[in-house]
Amino acid sequence: MDITIKPIDKINAKITVPGDKSISHRAVMFGSIACGDTEISGFLTGDDCMSTISCFKKLGIDIEVNGENVVVHGKGLHGLSEPDGLLDVGNSGTTIRLISGLLAGQKFVSRLNGDASIQKRPMNRVIKPLSQMGANIKSTNNGYAPLEITGTELKGTEYHMPVASAQVKSAILLASLYAEGETTVIEDMPSRDHTEIMLNYFGADIKNTGGRITSRPVKELYGKPLTVPGDISSAAFFIAAGLLTPDSEITITNVGINKTRTGIIDALLEMGADISIINERSAGGEPVGDLIVRTSELKAITLSGDIIPRMIDEIPVFVAAALAAEGTTVIKDAQELKVKESNRIATVIEEFGKMGAKITETDDGMIINGKQELKGNTVYSHLDHRIAMSLAVAALNAKGDTVITDADCVGISFPNFYELLDSLRK
Ligand code: S3P
């Protein structure tokens, strides 16, 4: 599907964005290996989370989906059964990496694969630490999917992560539930901690002492009701739209504001953005708030170090803000962008380039001169949801219309994105 985005004059709106993708995946996975029912509200019904549901159904779990309300009838830590055929993770890196940790300690063999993008995403980053725990995982494709996992007994380990990755950390923590002895993951920079929060909420024993995350096995986990907050990664597109469009104000209610995810807000505040967070509260151990965003004159900054993992998924839309800011923005330490759903350094530079932006590629990021006027053009999503949505936001303040080809990939994380974007015009 192609979509045409026309420029917008001003925005005055109050919206909510769909549920958090990371938390929705985890609710299904952890609910499946917990005893009893996990009733989830605010579940993200995007394609990635539906891939997780279909995998766990194949592993013998009964899951009822009623729009954003999902009930997982968990069978306890040892209740999964051998899947009949391949587990298809679709486009979802979170599904394949987390599930690998979980399947490593089962008593059966599982085969995993996904789409063309998944088959280019590095899996050695989970194969290595899981193998150190005794896991038997084979890639038939040189460190990429497809994978074959022969469940086996596992032993606890200590693993110092070479990259900040919540997916790797979570895979190890899931395997630790089946391992003998304790497991410690050491992270130099904090990555999102939804796994630690939700597993503990279900009865696990995981502690973080200054970046050493230690898990001691427990006998069982217990399902509990969960409310998934709105996804800050999805809110980011509307935050940028509100900041960059003249005379605008946009309120986004019920957004997850876990500190391991709010790098985008911190970066924009440092650039001079007018963003306030009100009604701070908590849901299932996760902090939530409402955001009010007003048109702002932004100033360039340098992004590097700890903030990068805290906003890794928001960097493509951050580029749209940097292009409008005054001065030169530098993004460093962001090599991980190269192994996302697309190579996001390359795809951002290529597609924003088609709209007239000149961005310099570096080994670990980009250099972006500000105050660049964008022109509408035909641009390509590269089948990457966040690239499509970042281009759509930039298009709101470009000169002329923009056509995004293969635009329907937004269904991965934000099924109603274009409808919500269109509602800003009313
Ligand atoms: C995610 C972790 C991040 C993020 C991805 C979701 C998660 O990936 O980019 O969209 O749910 O754990 P990495 O662990 O590769 O950094």
User: pLDDT by residue (tens digit) across 251-295?
Assistant: 999 999 999 999 999 999 999 999 999 999 998 899 999 999 999
Confidence bin at 396 (pLDDT 50/70/90): very high
Class of the 21-227 domain?
alpha beta
Please, which residues have CB within 8 angstroms of residue 45's CB and are 6 or more apart in sequence? 18, 65, 67, 68, 415
CA 15, 355, 368, 312 dihedral sign is positive
The reply to whether domains 3-19+229-423 and 21-227 share a CATH topology is: yes
What's the 220 CA to ligand 1 centre distance in angstroms?
Answer: 26
Question: Per the structure block, which two tokens stand in for 106?
Answer: 């089962």
The model carries a pTM of 0.98
Tokens of 240: 């940028």
Q: Does residue 38 register a pLDDT over 90?
A: yes
Give the residue whose CA is nearest to atom 11 of ligand 1.
22
Active site residue 115: no
* Residue of 22, 310, 339 to test ligand 1 pocket, by largest number of atoms within 8 Å of CB: 22
Name the residue with the closest Cα to ligand 1, atom 15: 165
Domain ranges within the chain, ordered by starting residue: 3-19+229-423, 21-227
Tell which CATH architecture fits domain 3-19+229-423: Alpha-beta prism (3.65)
How far away, in angstroms, is 164 Cα from ligand 1 center?
A: 9
Q: How far is the CA of 92 from the centre of ligand 1 (A)?
A: 10
Ligand 1 environment, Cβ below 6 A? 22, 94, 165-167, 170, 192, 312-313, 336
**Spatial separation of the C-alpha atoms in residues 77 and 339, rounded to whole Å:** 32
* Whether the Cβ atoms of residue 147 and residue 138 lie closer than 8 Å to each other: yes
> pLDDT tens, 53-77?
999 999 999 999 999 999 999 999 9
